[in-house]
Structures are given as structure tokens and as C-alpha cells.
């Protein structure tokens, strides 16, 4: 199977869906002539022209709303946020319009729009550019939220998101764009709401998504060296959440550590922890642990950023804790 980057996988997903369906278009800052701030839309302008690859001024609220309006009358917009940090100036359009129109119109108008872009901290881009808002969007009924960790998942999930008739918040990771993996050439979809076991193991369940899967894989190797086999569960879609795949794993291992790159309080991991204790209380041999970034705005200095972000050693420590190894 061809090996391509996460960035290319996203690019191919958009390209294929735009070729498949003339109602699909891409809109955002620098997506066209600049080929994408992070080059995800490389070549698309040349392939589809300015009509379908639309460069916008800096007006997220405006063009996010344009996406909602266009979707209302039958188009299938892909709205790119240069990063999800900038989605906060547009969040009203996503929460109050995209997520609610289907319900408040009594089912007359559905909104097949995808809001996508990189989410989470990159490297030393400081407090206003280093945020992960999964839990904001997961809180809102009417939205679906996806956060792929591999090129294979990224392509199959983005294609499914574009074909979905509901608004989908598709959160990528800038720090994964260059990561590579096997991706088949042929057309395939990954159903939203279906998780995936990234590594099988018996002693502890690690739940993570997006960039944090890498961290868990590294940690699992360190743990394996000590004879501890961790199972890594990647929900891939955060809303709707594949609770079953998590619960089944925890029923087996009796221990659960949730790893997320964002802030601890009201992070999506809290929701997962709630569900795990709800459905597996009797199976739990230890409290559900969480590994998150520190509860602070992200500092700029590299050394401090490392202290704030979840590290392999933090995951290892959390696992040893739920195993009562210290």
C-alpha cells in the first residue's frame, strides 16, 4: 500500500470528494493561491479553480456563516480554519446556527458542512495559538466531532465527514501533518462514531486521540519493556463517542488512563472518565487516571512548553499508578 503523509491523506480526501460531488467546495484563509497555510489544500485551486477553492479575507464568523447558509440550500462546504484557535470568533455560527438549524426548523433544513483545520498546540506558538477545544464542540448536540490520529484514519474519516448530512467539526493536528502511514489508493470511508484499537494489550487501557496516540504508542513501548502490555483505544470520533469499544477494553484490563493534549478541567477526558466509571465501576481496579497538559495558558519558552505538555513519562507514570507500581 502507498505510504503518504497525514497532510496528503487529507488533501486526497478533499480532492476525491470534490471530484465526486460538484456541490463540495473548500473555503478559508489562504486555501487557494497560497496552497493552504499548512499546504493541506496544495494543488486544489489549480485543479478546481477559484469557484470551488475560495480564498477569504480574515473573517471567520463571516465565512463560517457563509458555509452554513450555503449548506442550507444544498451545497456541501468544507470550511477551513487556519487553526481552531481562530474558531472562537466563529463559534457562535457553529453552535447557534450550524448545530441548531436542523432542529429549530423542524427537520426542514439540514446542514452538511465540515469545519476543519489543525487543533492543539504546535511548537512554541504561545498561549493564544496553543489550544485544544474538543470539549467545547463535543458539548453541543447537533455537531459531530472527529480527531484522527493517522493518515489512514484522516482520509477515511474526512471523506465520511464530507458525505455526512450534519455539521462536522474535524480537528486535525499541525504536528501530525508530516507523519506518514499506509493509505490505500481506492475510495474508502470510515464510519463516524466507530473507534479503533491502535494497540492490543491486557493490563491497562489507554484512551487517546489525534497527536496523543503517538505519545501512547511510545509509552506503551517503554511499558512493554517492563512487561506491561497496554491497550490503546482511539475513539477517532469524539462525538458520537464509541463508548462501547472503551468500556469493553476497560472491562478486560480493569484499568484506564485517558490522555489528552488540552487543559484538564472539563476536558473531553472528563466525559470519558465519567462514562467509564458509570459503565465499569465494578471492573475498575483503580480510579480512572487522566494525563493532560497543565492547567495554564501555554507559555512560549520551549523548556516550559515541554513541562506543560503531556510527555511519555507522564503516561508511563499514570499507568504505573493505576497498576499500584509505586
Ligand X SMILES: Cc1ncc(C[n+]2csc(CCOP(=O)(O)OP(=O)(O)O)c2C)c(N)n1
Q: Which three cell numbers stand for residue 39?
A: 499546504
**Which one among 98, 114, 263, 316 touches a copy of itself, defined by CB under 8 A?**
263
Q: Binding to other proteins (CB under 8 A): which residues in 146-165?
A: 165
- CB nearer other proteins, residue 49 or residue 226: 49
Percent helix, strand and coil across the chain, each to the nearest 5:
40, 15, 40
Q: Which of the residues 16, 110, 129, 229 is marked catalytic?
A: 129
Q: Which is nearer to ligand X, 89 or 95 (CB)?
A: 89
Q: Which residues have a Cβ under 8 Å from the Cβ of 227 and sit 6 or more positions away?
A: none
Calpha distance 206→128 (Å, rounded): 29
244 burial type by CB count under 10 A (0-12 exposed, 13-18 middle, 19+ buried): exposed
Q: Does 305 bind a copy of itself (CB under 8 A)?
A: no
Dist CA 147 CA 173 (whole Å): 8
Instruction: Find the binding residues for other proteins in span 228-287 (CB under 8 A).
Output: none
Please work out the total of residues on this chain that contact a copy of itself, with binding judged by CB under 8 A: 50
Using rule CB under 8 A, residue 304 touches other proteins: yes
Could you confirm whether 139 is annotated as catalytic? no
Q: How far apart are CA 13 and CA 89, in angstroms?
A: 27
Partner residues linked to 3 by β-bridges? 182
| Catalytic residue of the set 17, 29, 60, 134 | 60
| 144 interacts with other proteins by CB under 8 A | yes
Closest by alpha carbon to 125, among 38, 32, 41? 38
Question: Grid coordinates representing 291?
Answer: 494525563
**What is the 3-class SS of 197-259, one letter each residue?**
EEECCCCEEEECCCCHHHHHHHHHHHHHHCCCCEEEEECCEEECCCHHHHHHHHHHHCCEEEE
Distance of alpha carbon 125 from alpha carbon 299, whole angstroms: 9
* Radius of gyration, CA atoms only, the chain: 20
Q: Is residue 128 a contact point for a copy of itself (CB under 8 A)? A: yes
Applying CB under 8 A, among 75, 95, 194, 197 the residue interacting with a copy of itself is 95
36, 65, 77, 142: residue in contact with a copy of itself (rule CB under 8 A): 142
Give the residues lining the site for ligand X (CB under 6 A). Answer: 29, 58, 60, 82, 86, 89
Between helix 6-20 and helix 151-163 the angle, nearest 10°, is 30
The residues in 47-66 that bind a copy of itself, with binding defined as CB under 8 A, are: 61
The reply to whether 60 belongs to the active site is yes
Asked if residue 195 binds a copy of itself (CB under 8 A), the reply is no
Of the candidate residues 1, 73, 225, 265, the single one contacting a copy of itself (CB under 8 A): 265
Shortest spacing between CB 83 and ligand X, in angstroms: 7
Q: Is 96 in the site for other proteins (CB under 8 A)?
A: yes
Point out the residues that are catalytic: 60, 129
Binding site for a copy of itself (CB under 8 A): 61, 85, 88-89, 91-92, 95-96, 99-100, 103-104, 126-128, 131, 135-136, 138-142, 239, 241, 263, 265-271, 273-274, 277-279, 281, 284, 286-290, 295-297, 299-300
Amino acid at each position: 500500500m502507498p505510504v503518504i503523509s497525514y497532510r496528503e491523506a487529507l488533501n486526497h480526501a478533499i480532492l476525491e470528494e470534490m471530484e465526486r460531488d460538484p456541490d463540495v467546495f473548500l473555503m478559508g484563509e489562504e486555501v487557494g493561491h497560497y496552497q493552504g497555510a499548512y499546504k493541506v489544500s496544495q494543488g486544489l485551486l489549480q485543479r478546481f479553480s477559484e469557484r470551488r477553492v475560495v480564498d477569504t479575507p480574515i473573517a471567520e464568523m463571516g465565512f463560517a456563516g457563509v458555509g452554513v447558509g450555503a449548506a442550507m440550500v444544498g451545497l456541501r462546504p468544507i470550511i477551513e480554519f487556519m487553526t481552531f484557535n481562530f474558531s472562537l470568533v466563529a463559534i457562535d455560527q457553529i453552535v447557534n446556527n450550524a448545530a441548531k438549524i436542523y432542529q429549530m426548523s423542524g427537520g426542514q433544513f439540514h446542514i452538511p458542512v465540515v469545519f476543519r483545520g489543525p487543533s492543539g498546540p504546535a511548537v512554541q506558538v504561545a498561549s493564544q495559538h496553543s489550544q485544544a477545544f474538543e470539549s467545547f464542540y463535543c458539548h453541543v448536540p447537533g455537531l459531530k466531532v472527529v480527531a484522527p490520529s493517522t493518515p489512514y484514519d484522516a482520509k477515511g474519516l474526512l471523506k465520511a465527514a464530507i458525505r455526512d448530512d450534519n455539521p462536522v467539526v474535524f480537528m486535525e493536528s499541525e504536528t501530525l501533518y508530516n507523519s506518514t502511514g499506509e493509505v490505500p489508493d481506492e475510495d474508502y470511508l470510515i464510519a463516524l462514531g466507530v473507534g479503533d484499537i491502535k494497540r492490543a494489550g491486557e493490563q491497562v487501557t489507554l484512551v487517546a486521540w489525534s497527536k496523543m496516540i503517538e505519545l501512547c504508542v511510545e509509552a506503551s513501548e517503554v511499558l512493554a519493556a517492563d512487561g506491561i502490555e497496554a491497550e490503546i483505544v482511539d475513539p477517532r470520533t469524539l462525538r458520537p463517542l464509541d463508548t462501547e469499544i472503551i468500556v469493553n477494553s476497560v472491562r478486560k484490563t480493569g484499568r484506564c488512563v485517558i490522555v489528552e493534549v488540552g487543559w484538564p478541567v472539563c476536558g473531553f477526558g472528563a466525559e470519558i472518565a465519567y462514562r467509564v466509571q458509570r459503565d465499569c465501576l465494578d471492573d475498575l481496579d483503580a480510579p480512572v487516571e487522566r494525563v493532560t497538559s497543565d492547567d495554564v495558558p501555554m507559555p512560549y519558552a520551549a523548556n516550559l512548553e515541554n513541562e506543560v505538555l503531556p510527555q511519555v513519562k507522564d503516561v508511563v507514570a499514570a499507568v504505573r499508578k493505576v497498576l499500584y507500581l509505586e
